[in-house]
Amino acid sequence: MKKLNVKNNEAAIYGVGGLGEIGKNTYGIQFQDEIILIDAGIKFPEDDLLGVDYVIPDYQYLVDNKDKIKALVITHGHEDHIGGVPYLMKVLNVPIYAGPLAMALIKNKLEEHGLLNSVELHEISDKSVLKFRKMKVSFFRTTHSIPDTVGIAVHTPVGVIVETGDYKFDLTPVTNQPPDLQEMARLGAEGVLCLMSDSTNAEKPIWTHSEKWVGNSIAHIFDQIQDRIIFATFASNISRIKTACDNAMAHGRKIAVFGRSMDAAIVNGRELGYLDIPDDAFVDAHDLQSLPANKTLILCTGSQGEPMAALSRIANGTHRQISIQPGDTVIFSSNPIPGNTTSVNSVINKLEEAGANVIHGRVNNIHTSGHGGQEEQKLMLRLMKPKFFMPIHGEYRMLKIHTELAEQCGVPMDHSFIMQNGDVLALSKDNARMAGHFQAGDVYIDGSGIGDIGSIVLRDRQLLSEEGIVVVVATINLHNQEIQSGPDILSRGFVYMQESGELLDEGRRLVFKTIRKAMRAKKATESSIRNAVIDDLQEFLYDKTERHPMILPMLIMNGNQK
């Protein structure tokens, strides 16, 4: 194993992403020259990552060991578990194994990136078994907020390593895919060497409500509403979409779908048999106006306040086909992801101002988590009875609490390992130890650029967003030491130019003197003049305004230079 202290009779497990964070779930299980990868997710950027679309892991360790990777196996189809697949496939072309819905979503992503015909794809079920030369992979059914979720058991020569994926114990799921407790118990009875388990709700001393419970609340709400309903949820939450559509049809409402990802979810859900909705239950957008308000359901994206999603455009009055009407009820059937609360509140306020009645929040019982609380985490631990424990999928405090729960369930504290991305845990039949570290940082995706956004670019974006920019334009002849035109100063996001003429005039005079002085220096260059302008103007503007705008000199060089 490259640069890692793992012995020939040990298995190794590590997170390339997903440890100490929510998102980027990408885990490796390795024995000698075989690696099984589990999931390839993205993380959505925090507010300080200005302009960044997604965050993926640094795949360099995997690239260095690509000949050892036998498979990428997928637990389920959420973005934090499959969003990185196309980016990973661009550097590692390995076979992918996934359940029906996850596979449909992965195919869409690969097609968007022009990779669909070059990647080996295999659809699996919870009964599938994958056999490799030294390791074997089996699956067991779990429940989450999306169909076809599985946990993964990797059978190595030193023992079985189980990765749960995201799960809760929903005994009454609307998709009729209950968790396979018997298989989990069987794995535990035969012996689990190490359990890697979802820690998202480790802080909550609860048993997470069933999706059926949410369905009853939504049915009650539909019974009460006599006008138009706009229902917003995650496009990936097929269970919630099913509940909304079933209630719409029960009340004689036609369904209009808005949002590209929601359209795709409906298509995939119907093709795979999770959504039993006849063609005549749907209505086109242009036919909405001809239907009574109490006979329509608008199903849309935007429950997280995303600015370009259908619901945000409806709230802003910029949607081409829908505007809020008096009496409309908007249902937010999700909770804000951390970091999205402000955006969601803004959309709710705009909807209310436009005359809609908005139903949201826990008080209305219209959402439940897809992740198990402490009681379900303890049940998983009791079923699996692992010798060693590695909490995954959570921030540090969640991982720490999860190890405390494991101790309550019989796993000694020194048999639990809170790890960071890139840390390696080496396992033999009787022992576990830390065995080195590899680089596993963040890679930023901005538009089509991968990894070309670094800390300097982010710092510049932060500066621009907070302090603005001042552009200095001048034409100079360095050979003759002449300023042929300018300098002119333009301000964007720093000061309002029409009301700051005196400040900018004083700044122009300063820059004129700075350029003349810098040109007379013995080894004057364009770069040295630019730096002099930045230094002097920055100091001047801070003295006058106590602000640090970005200074961008644009020097046009004429004539033969020195």
16-42 pLDDT tens trace: 999 999 899 999 999 999 999 999 999
**pLDDT at residue 452 in the model:** 45
- CATH 3.60.15.10 domain position(s) in the chain: 11-206+369-431
Whole-number average pLDDT of the chain: 88
Is the confidence at residue 85, as pLDDT, over 80? yes
Residue 371 known to be catalytic: yes
Is the confidence at residue 306, as pLDDT, over 80? no
| DSSP structure string for 481-495 | TEEEEEEEEEEESSS
Is the confidence at residue 51, as pLDDT, over 60? no
211-362 is a CATH 3.30.470.10 domain: no
What is d(CA 365, CA 457) in angstroms, rounded to the nearest whole number? Answer: 43
Per-residue pLDDT reduced to its tens digit, 458-474? 455 455 555 677 888 88
| Rounded mean pLDDT, 307-318 | 87
455-557 is a CATH 3.10.20.580 domain: yes
What is d(CA 8, CA 428) in angstroms, rounded to the nearest whole number? Answer: 10
- CATH 3.10.20.580 domain position(s) in the chain: 455-557
Cα–Cα distance list, 184 to 338, 380, 381 (Å)? 31, 8, 10
The least confident of 62-71, 306-315, 455-464, 548-557 is 455-464
- CATH 3.40.50.10710 domain position(s) in the chain: 211-362
| Rounded mean pLDDT, 540-544 | 83
State the greatest distance between any 2 C-alpha atoms of the chain, in Å, as a whole number: 88
Is the confidence at residue 308, as pLDDT, over 60? yes
First to last CA, the chain: 56
| 371 known ligand binder | yes
pLDDT above 90 covers what percent of the chain?
59
| 323 known ligand binder | no
Catalytic residue among 58, 166, 180, 198: 198
| 370 known ligand binder | yes
Banded pLDDT at 408 (limits 50, 70, 90): very high
Banded pLDDT at 508 (limits 50, 70, 90): confident
Pick the CATH number of 11-206+369-431 from 3.60.15.10, 1.50.10.10, 3.30.1010.10, 1.20.140.10: 3.60.15.10
**pLDDT at residue 150 in the model:** 98
Is the confidence at residue 216, as pLDDT, over 80? yes
pLDDT above 70 covers what percent of the chain?
90
Angle at 221 between CA 219 and CA 227, to 5 degrees: 115
Is the confidence at residue 538, as pLDDT, over 90? no
| 329 known ligand binder | no
What is d(CA 382, CA 354) in angstroms, rounded to the nearest whole number? Answer: 51
| DSSP structure string for 144-207 | -SSSS-EEEEEEETTEEEEE--S-B--SS-TTS----HHHHHHHHHH--SEEEEE-TTTT--S-
Per-residue pLDDT reduced to its tens digit, 280-291? 999 998 888 889
Catalytic residue among 144, 360, 371, 415: 371
**pLDDT at residue 492 in the model:** 72
| Rounded mean pLDDT, 371-397 | 97
Is the confidence at residue 542, as pLDDT, over 90? no
Which helix or strand (DSSP H or E) is residue 349 part of? Answer: helix 341-353
What is d(CA 505, CA 202) in angstroms, rounded to the nearest whole number? Answer: 60
Q: Which residue has the higher pLDDT, 273 or 470?
A: 273
Evaluate if pTM is beyond 0.85: no
And the tokens for 380? 């998983």
| Rounded mean pLDDT, 417-432 | 97
Angle at 337 between CA 16 and CA 297, to 5 degrees: 125
What is d(CA 59, CA 92) in angstroms, rounded to the nearest whole number? Answer: 9
What is d(CA 184, CA 386) in angstroms, rounded to the nearest whole number? Answer: 11
Q: Which residue has the higher pLDDT, 318 or 140?
A: 140
Is the confidence at residue 50, as pLDDT, over 80? no
**pLDDT at residue 474 in the model:** 87
| DSSP structure string for 412-433 | -GGGB----TTEEEEE-SS-EE
**pLDDT at residue 539 in the model:** 86
**pLDDT at residue 363 in the model:** 60
Q: Which amino acid is at 496?
A: Y
**pLDDT at residue 106 in the model:** 95
**pLDDT at residue 1 in the model:** 42
Is the confidence at residue 478, as pLDDT, over 90? no
Is the confidence at residue 451, as pLDDT, over 50? no
And the tokens for 552? 């961008």
Residue 198 known to be catalytic: yes
Half-sphere exposure for 511 (CA within 13 Å, toward CB): 32
| 403 known ligand binder | no
